[in-house]
Amino acid sequence: MSDIMKPQLEVVRERMQRATPGPWGWFGNTKANHVYLATQRWGRHLVMDFARWGMQAAQPVFFGREDPAAISEGRVSNGTYQPAAKVPVFEVARDALSADDGRVYRTDLVGLRNADAAFIANSRADVEWLVGEVDRLQGIVDAGTAKAADGTTLRLIGWTCEHRWNTDADGKHLGWDHRKGKLVKQTNVSGSTYTLGQWGHDEPERRCPYAKPVFSIVEPDAVSA
Protein backbone atom coordinates (compact mmCIF):
# COMPACT_ATOMS: atom_id res chain seq x y z
CA MET A 1 0.00 0.00 0.00
CA SER A 2 1.41 3.39 -0.93
CA ASP A 3 2.17 6.05 1.67
CA ILE A 4 -0.34 8.33 -0.05
CA MET A 5 -3.12 5.74 -0.11
CA LYS A 6 -2.87 4.53 3.48
CA PRO A 7 -4.04 7.65 5.38
CA GLN A 8 -7.16 8.05 3.22
CA LEU A 9 -7.95 4.34 3.47
CA GLU A 10 -7.75 4.52 7.26
CA VAL A 11 -10.14 7.50 7.25
CA VAL A 12 -12.64 5.54 5.15
CA ARG A 13 -12.17 2.42 7.28
CA GLU A 14 -12.78 4.34 10.52
CA ARG A 15 -15.93 5.92 9.08
CA MET A 16 -17.18 2.46 8.10
CA GLN A 17 -16.39 0.89 11.48
CA ARG A 18 -18.15 3.67 13.41
CA ALA A 19 -21.33 3.33 11.33
CA THR A 20 -24.13 0.82 11.82
CA PRO A 21 -23.18 -2.53 10.20
CA GLY A 22 -24.75 -3.22 6.81
CA PRO A 23 -26.38 -4.10 4.58
CA TRP A 24 -28.93 -1.32 4.86
CA GLY A 25 -32.25 -0.94 3.09
CA TRP A 26 -35.27 1.34 2.80
CA PHE A 27 -38.49 0.23 4.51
CA GLY A 28 -41.87 1.73 5.29
CA ASN A 29 -45.40 2.04 3.96
CA THR A 30 -46.77 4.75 1.68
CA LYS A 31 -50.27 4.57 3.14
CA ALA A 32 -48.82 5.08 6.59
CA ASN A 33 -46.75 8.03 5.30
CA HIS A 34 -43.62 6.45 6.72
CA VAL A 35 -40.23 5.60 5.22
CA TYR A 36 -37.01 4.81 7.05
CA LEU A 37 -33.52 3.39 6.52
CA ALA A 38 -32.55 0.36 8.62
CA THR A 39 -30.44 -2.79 8.71
CA GLN A 40 -31.59 -5.75 6.65
CA ARG A 41 -30.39 -8.20 9.31
CA TRP A 42 -30.27 -8.59 13.09
CA GLY A 43 -33.79 -7.32 13.75
CA ARG A 44 -33.86 -4.21 11.53
CA HIS A 45 -31.96 -1.65 13.58
CA LEU A 46 -32.68 1.97 12.72
CA VAL A 47 -30.20 3.94 10.63
CA MET A 48 -32.30 6.98 9.65
CA ASP A 49 -35.92 7.89 10.28
CA PHE A 50 -37.82 11.17 9.92
CA ALA A 51 -39.75 13.27 12.43
CA ARG A 52 -41.86 16.41 12.40
CA TRP A 53 -39.87 19.62 12.76
CA GLY A 54 -42.14 22.51 13.60
CA MET A 55 -45.48 22.80 11.82
CA GLN A 56 -44.40 22.38 8.18
CA ALA A 57 -41.03 20.65 8.10
CA ALA A 58 -39.41 17.30 8.86
CA GLN A 59 -35.93 16.35 10.00
CA PRO A 60 -33.90 13.13 9.78
CA VAL A 61 -33.49 11.18 13.00
CA PHE A 62 -30.49 8.91 13.57
CA PHE A 63 -29.47 6.54 16.36
CA GLY A 64 -26.20 7.21 18.17
CA ARG A 65 -24.73 3.81 19.05
CA GLU A 66 -22.09 3.35 21.73
CA ASP A 67 -20.80 0.16 20.06
CA PRO A 68 -22.05 -0.42 16.49
CA ALA A 69 -20.30 -3.80 16.24
CA ALA A 70 -22.60 -5.13 18.97
CA ILE A 71 -25.41 -5.43 16.40
CA SER A 72 -23.67 -7.97 14.18
CA GLU A 73 -22.21 -9.80 17.19
CA GLY A 74 -25.59 -10.35 18.84
CA ARG A 75 -24.93 -8.09 21.83
CA VAL A 76 -27.06 -5.25 23.16
CA SER A 77 -26.49 -2.07 21.16
CA ASN A 78 -26.99 0.83 23.55
CA GLY A 79 -27.54 4.34 22.30
CA THR A 80 -29.95 7.24 21.91
CA TYR A 81 -32.15 8.70 19.20
CA GLN A 82 -30.54 11.79 17.70
CA PRO A 83 -32.75 14.20 15.73
CA ALA A 84 -30.70 16.33 13.35
CA ALA A 85 -31.57 19.47 15.30
CA LYS A 86 -29.81 18.02 18.36
CA VAL A 87 -26.51 17.09 16.70
CA PRO A 88 -25.63 19.87 14.24
CA VAL A 89 -22.08 20.83 13.29
CA PHE A 90 -22.26 24.61 12.96
CA GLU A 91 -20.22 26.23 10.22
CA VAL A 92 -19.03 29.07 12.45
CA ALA A 93 -18.11 26.94 15.48
CA ARG A 94 -17.70 23.28 14.57
CA ASP A 95 -17.06 22.07 18.09
CA ALA A 96 -20.08 23.86 19.57
CA LEU A 97 -22.64 21.41 20.97
CA SER A 98 -25.59 23.81 20.96
CA ALA A 99 -26.86 26.96 19.29
CA ASP A 100 -26.73 28.46 22.79
CA ASP A 101 -22.93 28.50 22.56
CA GLY A 102 -21.87 32.15 22.39
CA ARG A 103 -19.66 31.50 19.38
CA VAL A 104 -22.63 30.45 17.26
CA TYR A 105 -23.72 33.75 15.74
CA ARG A 106 -25.17 31.99 12.69
CA THR A 107 -26.88 28.58 12.71
CA ASP A 108 -25.93 27.32 9.25
CA LEU A 109 -24.80 23.72 9.62
CA VAL A 110 -22.21 21.77 7.61
CA GLY A 111 -22.68 18.32 9.10
CA LEU A 112 -24.31 16.19 11.77
CA ARG A 113 -22.56 14.77 14.80
CA ASN A 114 -23.62 11.18 14.15
CA ALA A 115 -21.61 8.28 12.71
CA ASP A 116 -24.29 7.08 10.28
CA ALA A 117 -24.97 10.63 9.09
CA ALA A 118 -21.25 11.15 8.45
CA PHE A 119 -21.02 7.82 6.65
CA ILE A 120 -23.94 8.73 4.37
CA ALA A 121 -22.63 12.23 3.64
CA ASN A 122 -19.16 10.96 2.73
CA SER A 123 -20.21 7.79 0.90
CA ARG A 124 -20.27 9.36 -2.57
CA ALA A 125 -16.69 10.60 -2.30
CA ASP A 126 -15.48 7.51 -0.43
CA VAL A 127 -16.87 5.06 -3.00
CA GLU A 128 -15.49 7.10 -5.89
CA TRP A 129 -12.04 7.13 -4.26
CA LEU A 130 -12.16 3.38 -3.50
CA VAL A 131 -13.21 2.51 -7.05
CA GLY A 132 -10.36 4.66 -8.33
CA GLU A 133 -7.91 2.78 -6.12
CA VAL A 134 -9.26 -0.58 -7.30
CA ASP A 135 -8.81 0.52 -10.92
CA ARG A 136 -5.28 1.75 -10.17
CA LEU A 137 -4.28 -1.45 -8.38
CA GLN A 138 -5.88 -3.61 -11.07
CA GLY A 139 -3.73 -1.77 -13.57
CA ILE A 140 -0.66 -2.68 -11.53
CA VAL A 141 -1.75 -6.32 -11.39
CA ASP A 142 -2.43 -6.42 -15.12
CA ALA A 143 0.98 -4.88 -15.83
CA GLY A 144 2.68 -7.38 -13.52
CA THR A 145 4.94 -4.76 -11.94
CA ALA A 146 4.66 -1.96 -9.41
CA LYS A 147 6.83 0.75 -7.88
CA ALA A 148 7.48 0.76 -4.13
CA ALA A 149 7.65 4.03 -2.18
CA ASP A 150 11.46 3.97 -2.36
CA GLY A 151 11.42 3.55 -6.15
CA THR A 152 12.19 -0.18 -6.11
CA THR A 153 10.58 -2.13 -8.94
CA LEU A 154 8.37 -5.01 -7.80
CA ARG A 155 7.03 -7.90 -9.86
CA LEU A 156 3.80 -9.76 -9.15
CA ILE A 157 4.56 -13.44 -8.44
CA GLY A 158 1.25 -14.67 -7.02
CA TRP A 159 -1.47 -14.26 -4.45
CA THR A 160 -1.91 -14.99 -0.78
CA CYS A 161 -5.04 -15.36 1.27
CA GLU A 162 -5.89 -16.61 4.76
CA HIS A 163 -9.03 -18.72 4.93
CA ARG A 164 -11.06 -20.01 7.82
CA TRP A 165 -13.81 -22.42 6.94
CA ASN A 166 -16.49 -24.75 8.26
CA THR A 167 -17.51 -28.29 7.46
CA ASP A 168 -20.60 -30.18 8.49
CA ALA A 169 -20.55 -33.43 10.47
CA ASP A 170 -19.70 -35.38 7.30
CA GLY A 171 -16.84 -33.08 6.41
CA LYS A 172 -18.72 -31.32 3.63
CA HIS A 173 -17.43 -27.83 2.93
CA LEU A 174 -19.91 -25.11 3.98
CA GLY A 175 -18.15 -21.98 2.74
CA TRP A 176 -15.36 -19.50 3.40
CA ASP A 177 -15.57 -16.60 5.81
CA HIS A 178 -12.92 -13.88 5.91
CA ARG A 179 -14.71 -11.36 8.12
CA LYS A 180 -12.21 -10.66 10.91
CA GLY A 181 -11.65 -14.40 11.31
CA LYS A 182 -15.22 -14.98 12.46
CA LEU A 183 -17.08 -18.04 11.29
CA VAL A 184 -20.51 -18.23 9.70
CA LYS A 185 -21.21 -21.55 11.42
CA GLN A 186 -19.49 -23.12 14.40
CA THR A 187 -18.99 -26.70 13.15
CA ASN A 188 -15.65 -28.48 12.83
CA VAL A 189 -13.63 -25.28 12.49
CA SER A 190 -10.42 -25.45 10.48
CA GLY A 191 -8.06 -22.89 9.01
CA SER A 192 -4.95 -22.45 6.90
CA THR A 193 -3.08 -20.15 4.51
CA TYR A 194 -2.90 -20.62 0.75
CA THR A 195 -0.37 -18.77 -1.37
CA LEU A 196 1.01 -18.29 -4.87
CA GLY A 197 -1.75 -19.56 -7.06
CA GLN A 198 -3.32 -22.17 -4.80
CA TRP A 199 -7.11 -22.49 -4.92
CA GLY A 200 -7.31 -20.76 -8.30
CA HIS A 201 -5.85 -17.43 -7.21
CA ASP A 202 -4.03 -17.11 -10.54
CA GLU A 203 -7.36 -17.27 -12.38
CA PRO A 204 -9.13 -13.87 -12.03
CA GLU A 205 -12.61 -15.37 -12.31
CA ARG A 206 -11.91 -17.79 -9.43
CA ARG A 207 -9.66 -15.65 -7.27
CA CYS A 208 -10.79 -15.04 -3.71
CA PRO A 209 -11.87 -11.37 -3.41
CA TYR A 210 -9.81 -11.11 -0.21
CA ALA A 211 -6.59 -12.41 -1.79
CA LYS A 212 -3.63 -10.02 -1.69
CA PRO A 213 -0.94 -9.73 -4.37
CA VAL A 214 2.56 -10.97 -3.56
CA PHE A 215 5.48 -9.08 -5.13
CA SER A 216 9.21 -9.78 -5.32
CA ILE A 217 11.96 -7.19 -5.79
CA VAL A 218 13.26 -6.97 -9.34
CA GLU A 219 17.01 -6.43 -9.57
CA PRO A 220 18.01 -3.25 -11.49
CA ASP A 221 19.83 -5.30 -14.15
CA ALA A 222 16.67 -7.31 -14.79
CA VAL A 223 14.60 -4.15 -15.20
CA SER A 224 16.90 -2.64 -17.81
CA ALA A 225 17.39 -5.91 -19.66
**Position 41 confidence tier, pLDDT thresholds 50, 70, 90:** confident
Find all residues with CB under 8 Å of 194, minimum gap 6, and list them. 160, 161, 163, 201
- pLDDT tens column, 50-76: 999 988 899 999 998 888 887 777 776
CA–CA separation, 47 vs 19, rounded Å? 9
Between 86-90, 170-174, 188-192, the lowest mean confidence (pLDDT) is in: 188-192
User: Residue 184: what pLDDT?
Assistant: 38
- pLDDT tens column, 204-223: 555 566 667 777 777 665 44
Nearest CA to 58 out of 24, 83, 25, 79 is that of 83
Region 124-132: mean pLDDT is: 93
**pLDDT tops 50 at residue 130:** yes
- pLDDT tens column, 144-160: 776 666 777 777 777 66
**pLDDT tops 60 at residue 181:** no
User: Residue 190: what pLDDT?
Assistant: 46
| Contact predicate 164/190, CB 8 Å | yes
Region 129-149: mean pLDDT is: 77
Find all residues with CB under 8 Å of 168, minimum gap 6, and list them. 174, 187, 188
pTM of the model: 0.65
Residue 183: HSE in the Cβ half-sphere, 13 Å Cα cutoff? 14
User: Residue 1: what pLDDT?
Assistant: 45
Buried b (16+ CB within 10 A) or exposed e, 1-34: eeeeeeeebeebeebbeebbbeebeeeeeeeeee
**pLDDT tops 50 at residue 24:** yes
Pairing outcome for strands 173-177 and 190-195: unpaired
Give the residue, 163 or 51, on which the prediction is more confident: 51
Tell me the domain boundaries of the chain.
Answer: 5-126, 144-224
Mean residue pLDDT of the chain comes to 76
